[in-house]
Chains A and B, each alone.
Chain A
Amino acid sequence: MSGFAAWVREATEPSAAAGKPEALGGIRVLEFCPGHFGGMVAASVLAEFGAEVIKVEPPDGDPLRLVAPEEILVAGTGLPFLSEARNRRFVTLDADDSAGRDVFRRLALSADVIITTEPPERMEAMGCDYLSLREERPGIVYLSLSTFGGFGPDASRPVRDSDILCQALSGAPYIVGEQEREGVPPRPHEAPTRLGNWHGSFVQGLWGAYGVLAALHFRAETGKGQAVDLSGAESLMMFADYNITWMHTGGKARERVGNFDPAVFPYTYIRCRDGYTFIAAYNDEAFDSLMHIIGRPELARDPRFSTPKNRVALENERALLTVLEEWSGGRTADEILVAVEEYTSKRGGPGAAVVTGRVNRPLETLSEEHWRERGCFLRERDPVYGELLLAAPPWKMSGTPARWKSGCRPPGADNRDVYLGLLGMTEEEYRRLAEAGTF
């Protein structure tokens, strides 16, 4: 390891994060996002950087707890909720009840940031829309998440926000998946293809956290709070490459081309002896390197492949894929990696830009020592939810590292702490509200 790598390792080692200060210490976030994963992600990101997050659930628990792929429930909670329920306090509250609304409003007025996925009409009915909170707390940052956003011609369309809606509208699936063939009925997979994870919700949550941080930065400079409006569809849309610039400048709409690419090639998955691996070498120098690596240096001068423009003609991409797979078919992904690294280590600059990486199944990713060493996964043991394998915060930081501090707890587990400790309720008031079913 180089001196620099050793320094970074020591400075950012995740297992040493616990004693260090947190970037967002002192920022309180109120999360009111029943049944909504993207809202949880936004809150989790802020919480991983040290914000104090209080999640408000209905008295019988957040409906998202019941979402359970393959019907796996642990103590009444499904794996999606368990994977994202971190670094927060869990309180319950009946927000449809007037005493509950009062408690909610007290919580909201103690917070720096509100994250909500409920429609504005409901927040108004609770007296907790942005305008009424702002009157008493002008510095408040108020993040609303929805499918279409809070203004514009489609803003009042009656949908309940979800990953699949945000993905569909974003333009992402439109350019993921196999093309239909001419003259034959399409097969099921020849369709716009959803990203298999909840990427729409994740990116919605990430842009939400980013918008909040930009607003907090502005507040630190000016004292002013603000409203942040975020559409989940537009969140993932931001990642749809040059869709708009190409439409504008060339009048072309991007279409899906399977594992090919309209702008760079080779840039694809190739079949190898033990599965698939990624291979890319799209600038001329790198392409020349790759043709040397596969023992076909003459192809760098083949007119089909000799310029970037010719390499991205779809029929040439198909021809080149065949050539590449003739070479890769008998080799393992690791052998391909070694061949690439051996060659590129002797060649600097643009010629070294031959890039590969095995298409891992999740268990293969888990088996790789690299991620273990970097503390990428956590195995946490909880008295209620047992042993859970979780993804750690991805940011390694030398000064105020992001970190995982605590996992899921049952609905209302922190009611006493929050309502007595933070809101200053008396024992009597707490008991009365609990008995009335407010929480």
Chain B
Amino acid sequence: MPSDPGGSRAFAGRAFDPAAIPGKPEALAGVRVLEVATRIFGPATADYLGLFGAEVIKVEMPPRGDLMRYVAPEGFFWKEVSPAFLSLNRNKLHVGLDLHPPEGKELFLRLAKRSDVVVENLRAGTMDGWGVGYLQLRERNRRIVYAANSGFGQWGPYAAGRASYDATAQAVSGFSAVTGFPDQPPMKAGFWVGDYTAALMSATAILAALAARRKTGEGQMIDLSQAEAMIRTLDWTWPYAGMTGKDRVRNGNVDPSYTPSGIYRCRDGFVAVSARDEDEVIPLAHALGATDPEEASIATPERVGAFCASRRVDEVVRIAEDAGFSAAPVRGGKDHYHDPHLRARGTVCSVDDPLYGRVDEYGPAPKLSESPGRVKWSAKPVGWHNERVFGDLLGMTTGEMEALARKKVIGKWADIPGARPPKGSAP
């Protein structure tokens, strides 16, 4: 029982070593996921499962596929693929399959019979209307876990036909109303937080449903609204509204629960200053010039702001470390890309992709010592894995596949940037 002092940190260095990951098993090995989704909410859900070893088959409508393929920052495509598409579609098998014709539906049902999970983010009821919704899939496979991701849920007054993106959820949930500065309009988060947050919640519910299935042998339907996911993350907003009848206001860059904790401007950038309780507020007040603990109240946002304004970010961080409060720089993608800490943790990682060569990505956040997550390969063009999935998995012959391709039931990429392989690489 007596522990080896410092043993945990030494153990962590060994147990989580990114170099050892390829030789370790994967947590979700043997779980097959069918993704019928576009843009972010559904694809990110499947991506999170794929990072931990699930086999994800991404079903796209040929030849254009997922419309996220055409979302490209400043219109920039690299080797005919958008960097925004790459980061959402790791470790997937890409098939081009049209779910409208009867042969397409049948093929999908055959895939579903051999799968564990379906993730979709079409408008509520679309899959059911096509004859490939949860109720039809369940007929073939009682064990299927079906995650229906949508903006407003599968039922209720707003469910029918109403579309949603990330920022719909940011907007209607109240999230944007509490983000930004009091004298300014509500601020939309500049990243697609309403999608990712809900996608992570969807992936979490899928793992819970798989745990339940282990006991019952039965799958189930999961109905997740991305707006409701965001509502759940608004901490004290709701009890405050219930108790006071008032709206929580935007509070700018100071956290109203931990004043003066917040983000401050320095001479050369921005820093977060954090003081959770007296144990940190008193040292912070000292750093600001207080001479005894009674003066802790001088640690106001104004004083912290003035203190930071005349210093560099690294000075403030060093002062905090010496004094006993907490501080960290505000960092961006360029900082992350070059950060040795994130590289050493595999949080920024390189994958050697057979089609694209080296691609750098954010790796999985949770580090598991025995069955770690990993990025194995990058996104692929529409229908890239048709032969592997329809041939190897379903046992179709080349002739059968060619016949279905002629009828446009299955297909491959359109000859446009975003959908097609890099120049000179197509088979």
CB closest chain-B residue, reference A257: B190
Interface hit among A125-133, A418-426, A429-437: A125-133
Q: Which of B377-426 contact A (CB under 8 A)?
A: none
Contact B171 A278 (CB under 8 A): yes
Q: Which residues of A contact B306 (CB under 8 A)?
A: none
A341 within 8 A of B: yes
Interface pair B272/A5, CB less than 8 Å apart: no
Asked if B104 lies at the interface with its beta carbon under 8 angstroms from chain A, I say no
Q: Which of A336-375 contact B (CB under 8 A)?
A: 341, 344-345, 350, 352-366, 368-371, 373-374
**Which of chain A's residues has its CB closest to B320's CB?**
A159
- Of B156, B329, B367, the residue contacting A228 (CB under 8 A) is B367
Q: Does A329 reach chain B (CB closer than 8 Å)? A: no
A360 and B333 within 8 A (CB): no
- Would you call A254 and B156 a contact (CB within 8 A)? no
Query: Which residues of chain B from 346 to 375 have any CB-CB distance to chain A below 8 Å in the complex?
Result: 347-348, 358-362, 364-371, 373
Chain A interface secondary structure, helix, strand, loop or mixed?
mixed
Residue of B with least CB distance to A127: B1
Residue of B nearest to A262 (CB): B73
Given A162-B274, A240-B191, decide whether A131 and B201 contact each other with a Cβ distance below 8 A.
no
Interface residues of B in 180-205 (CB under 8 A from A): 180-181, 183-193, 196-197, 200-201, 203-205
The reply on A259 being an interface residue by CB < 8 A is yes
Residues on B with C-beta less than 8 A from A127 are 1-3
* Cross-chain contact B75 with A124 (CB below 8 angstroms): no
Contact with B along A170-204 (1 / 0, CB 8 A): 11111111100000001011011111111100110
Given A264-B71, A362-B247, CB of A355 within 8 Å of CB of B165: yes
User: Beyond A151-B13, A162-B274, is A176–B186 a contact (Cβ under 8 Å)?
Assistant: no
CA distance A400 to B231 in the complex (A): 22
Give chain A residues whose Cβ lies under 8 Å from the Cβ of B124.
Answer: 5
A24–B212 Cα distance when bound, in Å, is 7
> Is there an interface contact between A5 and B365, defined as CB atoms closer than 8 Å?
no
Partner of B211, one of A198, A202, A220, A354: A220
Are A227's CB and B369's CB within 8 A? Answer: yes
Interface core residue of B154, B215, B235, B258 (most chain A CB under 10 Å): B235
Asked if residues A249 and B78 are in contact (CB atoms below 8 Å), the reply is yes
Known A-B contacts A130-B8, A228-B366, A253-B333; A374 and B161 likewise in contact (beta carbons under 8 Å):
no
Contact of A132 among B3, B12, B209 (CB under 8 A): B3
- Asked if A395 and B205 make an inter-chain contact with CB atoms under 8 angstroms apart, the answer reads yes
Task: Give, as a whole number of angstroms, the nearest-CB distance from A249 to chain B.
Answer: 4
Q: Mark contacts of A120-141 with chain B using CB atoms, 8 A cut-off: 1 yes-contact digit, 0 otherwise.
A: 1101110101111000000000
Q: How far is the CB of A16 from chain B (nearest CB, A)?
A: 13
* B176 near A5: Cβ-Cβ < 8 Å: no
State in angstroms the CA–CA spacing of A365 and B13 once bound together.
46
Measured between beta carbons, the chain A residues less than 8 angstroms from B163 are: 344, 352-355
What sequence of 0s and 1s flags, for each residue 72-84 of chain A, a beta carbon within 8 Å of any chain B beta carbon?
1010001110111
- Find the residue from B74, B205, B329 having the highest chain A CB count within 10 A: B205
A23 pairs with B211, CB closer than 8 A: yes
Report if B172 contacts A (CB, 8 A). Answer: yes
A208 contacts B by Cβ under 8 Å: yes
Contact residues in A for B252 (Cβ distance below 8 Å): 188-189, 193
CB distance from B127 to the nearest CB of A (A): 9
B368 contacts A215, C-beta separation under 8 Å: yes
CA A9 to CA B125, docked complex, whole Å: 12
**CB pair A241 B223 closer than 8 Å:** no
**Is A15 on the interface with B (CB-CB < 8 A)?**
no
From B48, B87, B184, B328, contact of A210 by CB (8 A)? B48
Q: How far is the CA of A162 from the CA of B346 in the complex (A)?
A: 22
Surface stretch bound by A, among B91-99, B105-113, B261-269, B291-299: B261-269
Is B175 part of the contact surface with A, judged by Cβ < 8 Å? yes
Q: Which of A205-244 contact B (CB under 8 A)?
A: 206-211, 213-218, 220-222, 224-231, 233-235, 237-244
Instruction: Determine whether B289 belongs to the interface, using a CB cutoff of 8 Å to chain A.
Output: no
A151-B188 CB under 8 A given contacts A245-B361, A360-B172, A397-B205: no
Complex interface: chain B residues within 8 A of A350 (CB): 67
Q: Considering only CB atoms, which chain A residue lies closest to B332 in the complex?
A: A174
Assess whether B36 is interfacial by the CB under 8 Å rule.
no
- A217→B223 contact, CB < 8 A: no
Say if the beta carbon of B345 comes within 8 Å of chain A: yes
B232 at the interface (CB under 8 A from A): yes
Q: CB of A332 within 8 A of chain B?
A: no
Q: Provided the pairs A168-B329, A210-B48, A259-B187 are in contact, do residues A69 and B73 lie with their beta carbons within 8 angstroms?
A: no
The answer to whether A9 and B201 touch across the interface, beta carbons within 8 angstroms, is: no
B373 surroundings in chain A (CB, below 8 A)? 214
- A4's partner among B133, B169, B235 (CB-CB below 8 A) is B133
Give the CA-CA distance A250 to B72 in the complex, in Å.
11
- A245-265, CB under 8 A of B: which get 1 and which 0? 111111011111111011110
Band of interface residues on B = 35 or more
**Is A362's CB under 8 angstroms from B365's CB?**
no
Closest to B189 in A: A176
Residues of B within 8 Å of A249, CB to CB, are: 76, 78-79, 83, 86, 359
B74 close to A131 (CB less than 8 A): no
Q: Given A203-B200, A238-B196, A244-B333, are A356 and B168 also a contact pair (CB < 8 Å)? A: yes
Q: Which residues of B contact A198 (CB under 8 A)?
A: 233, 235, 257
Residue of A nearest to B207 (CB): A213
Nearest Cβ on chain B to A357's Cβ, whole angstroms: 4
| B159 sits at the interface (CB 8 A) | yes
A131-B3, A374-B153 in contact; A394/B231 too (CB < 8 A)? yes
Nearest CB of chain B from residue A383's CB, rounded to whole Å: 17
Within the assembled complex, what's the spacing in Å between the Cα atoms of A82 and B270?
32
Residues from chain A with a CB closer than 8 A to the CB of B362 are: 237-238, 240, 243-244
- Looking across the interface, which residue of chain A has its beta carbon closest to that of B5? A124
A373 touches B156 (CB 8 A): yes
Known: A8-B155, A171-B332, A389-B241. A254 touches B171 (CB 8 A): no
Pairwise interchain contact B204-A210, C-beta atoms closer than 8 A? yes
Assembled-state Cα–Cα distance A156/B341 (Å)? 11
Task: State which residues 215-258 of B face A: CB under 8 Å.
Answer: 215-216, 218-225, 228-229, 231-248, 250-253, 255-258
| In the assembled complex, B210 has its CB within 8 A of some CB on chain A | yes
Say yes or no for A6: interface residue by CB 8 A criterion. Answer: yes
A residues less than 8 Å from B265 (CB atoms): 186, 191
Contact with B along A309-320 (1 / 0, CB 8 A): 110110000000
**Does A303 lie at the interface of the complex (its beta carbon under 8 Å from any beta carbon of B)?**
no
Q: Which of the segments A87-95, A142-150, A290-298 contacts the partner chain?
A: A142-150
A169 to B313, CA, bound (A): 13
Tell me which residues across on chain B come within 8 A of A215, comparing CB atoms. Answer: 27, 368, 370-371
B247 proximity list for chain A (CB < 8 A): 361-363
**A244 to B191 Cα, complex, angstroms:** 13
Cβ-defined partner of B87 (8 Å) among A8, A131, A245, A362: A245
Q: Are B208 and A402 in contact (CB under 8 A)?
A: yes
For the complex, give the distance between the alpha carbons of A173 and B176 in Å.
Answer: 14
CB pair A250–B211 under 8 Å, yes or no, is: no
Report how far A246 CA is from B334 CA in the complex, Å: 10
Complex formed: what's the CA distance from A313 to B73 in Å? 10
Q: Which of B272-299 contact A (CB under 8 A)?
A: 272-274, 276-277, 280
Q: Which 3 A-B pairs give the minimum distances between C-beta atoms?
A: A389-B242, A309-B75, A211-B366
New A-B contacts (4) at CB < 8 Å, excluding given A21-B212, A168-B272, A235-B365: A193-B181, A206-B201, A363-B241, A388-B243
Instruction: List, sorted by A's number, 5 A–B pairs whose CB atoms are closer than 8 Å.
Output: A82-B239, A227-B11, A234-B347, A241-B191, A370-B152
